[in-house]
Structure 1
Amino acid sequence: MQSSVSVYLLLFISSVSAEVVANFELCKKYFYKDHVPQWPAANTHIHICQVNANSYRFATLYDTINRIPIYSAYTVEENGKISRPRWMVEPQLVDQNYEKEMMTEDSLKYKHKVEPNVMGKRQALDEDYKKAPEKYDRGHLNPDSHHADDAAKATYTLTNIVPQKDKLNRGKWKEHEDKLRKLSNNNQVFVLVGAIPSSDNWIKINNEPRVNIPDYMWVAYCYFDRESNSFKSGGATAKNTENKLYECSLRDLQEFLQEHIQQVGQLFHEDCYEKKSAGPSGAGINPCNI
C-alpha cells in the first residue's frame, strides 16, 4: 500500500506554475515592444503570468465571472510532440496565499483540502466540460502546437481554455494555427488570441451557469519578416458556431473588437507599423465584422 507521501508526490507529477499578478510587468516580453493593450477595466479580470520549469511562458488576462480567458499573449516557438499532461487549475484563484504552482484538481484538493465547489468559484473545472449537456472541446487560446516541451505543457491550464465547437477547433481554427506556426520558421511572431463571451450562453451544471460559451474567437499577429525586410501583421475572427474563419487586416480586427468589446486600445505597438492602405480587397468591406 502506498504511503500518503508517495500519493502526494504522484499527484504533483507534471505540475506547472502560474502567478497571479497585479499587471503583466513580469511577463511583458510576450507583448510586442512590451505594449500591453488597453482593455476595459473590470474587478473580475485577473492577470496571470503563466510559468513552467521556473520560466515565464505566456500571459493571460482571465475573467473570473465568465470563467474563461479574455486573451492570451505569447510568441510562437518551435513545436514538438509532448505527452499530454492532465488539465490544471490555478491555486491562487482559490486563495491568494496559496503557492504559485499550477496543479491538478486532485493535487489542490489533497494539499489544501479544497472541495470542488470552492475550487471552481472563480475558475472552470475539468468536470464542467465532462458533464456539459452539450459537448465542447477544451479550446486552447495559446495552443500547445506553438511550443515544445515545458512551454507546451504550460498551455494545459484551464485558465487558457474556452468551450469551443469541435468542428471549428479541429478545422479552420487549427488551419490558422498551423499557418502562424509556419510563419515562425524564420521570424519571431507575436500573437494575441482571445474570445468574446456571449451574453447568455453557458455550460450549465445542475442548472447553474458555470462556463461562458464565447460567441466569437479572434486572433492577431505581428512580426518582422526577415526575408522581405518589412513588418507583417494580420487578424482573424470566427463564430464559435461554425467552421469558418475570416481573415482581415489588423486595423479591421481592431474595429471588430471596438464594436463588440469597446474601449480596446492598440493591440500591438504602433499597430505593428501597418500601412493605412493595408487591408482586404473591396472598399468598405470588413471581413472581420462577421
Structure 2
Amino acid sequence: MSTLDTRPLPGALRLGWSRTRYEVRGFFRERDAVIFIFAYPVIMLAIFATVFGQGGATVGDGIPFAQYFLPGMIATGVLLSSFQSMALDIAAERDRGGLKRLRGTPLPPTAFFLGKVGQVLATSLIQLVLLLAVARLLFDVALPDTSARWATLAWVFLLGTATGAICGVGFSSIPRSAKSASAVVTPVVLVLQFISGVFFSFYQLPSWMQEVAAVFPLKWMAQGMRSVFLPDGAASLEPAGSWEHGRISLVLIAWLVLGLVAGVRTFRWQRRGDR
C-alpha cells in the first residue's frame, strides 16, 4: 500500500535554477528565434561598420564607426533577448494554455519568474560575448582596458537585462493573443531603437527625439555602454556633456520597479475569457 509523499518542495532558488535550465533548453530548441536574436545585432554591426566606415570615416573626434555603434548593438541585443523575447514568449505560452496548466502545479510563481529571468541572463551573456568577439576579431575594436570599465559593463549589462526582462513580463499582458503579440511588441522595439542612438549617432538626433528617448531605458543602456567602449573625451558628445552613470542607474532601476509593479498588477496566467 503506497503512501503520499509529504516531503516539502525544494526552496524557490533551487526550483528557480532548475527552471532556468529548462527555459534555456527550450530557448535553444526554437532555432528561428535563436538565429534572429543572436544574429541580428551582429549583422547590424557589420552593416554599419562596413557601410559607414568606408574610407576610414569616423564619428565625432576620430572614433571608428564600429567602435561607436558597438555599444548600441550591445544595448539593442539586451533589449531583444530580454524585453522582446520575454513579452512574446509569455504571450505565446498563455495563448497555448501552458501558463494555466503550470499554475495548477506545485511550482511557486517565484521559481517560474526566476527561471525566465535566468534564461534571459544566460542568453544575453552569450550574445554579449559573441558581439565582443566579432567586434574585436573582424573590426579591430578595442575592448575595455581598465577594471573600472569592465565593472561598468557588468552593472549596466546586468541592470539593463533585469529591467528588460521584468518590463517584458509586464508588457506580455497587453497582447490579446499570440498572433497579435508580434504586431504589438515589434513596433515598440523598432521605435526605441531608432530614437535611442542605436542606428544613428545620438548627438545628431533632433533634441525633441533625444528628450523622448530619455524617458525609456534603451537610451540609457546605450549611453552606459558608450561610456565603456568610447574614449573619455566622447562624453562631450552626450546631451549633458558627461556619461551620467548615476542617472543611468536611477532610470534603469525606476523602470525595473515600474515593470515589477505592472507585472504584479496585470499578469495573467490564462487567456482573456478563460475560466
Q: Which has the larger radius of gyration?
A: 2
Between Structure 1 and Structure 2, the one with more strand by share is 1
Same fold flag (TM > 0.5): no
The answer to which structure, 1 or 2, has the higher relative contact order (CA under 8 A, 6+ apart) is 2
So what's the TM-score if we normalise by structure 2? 0.28
Between Structure 1 and Structure 2, the one with more helix by share is 2
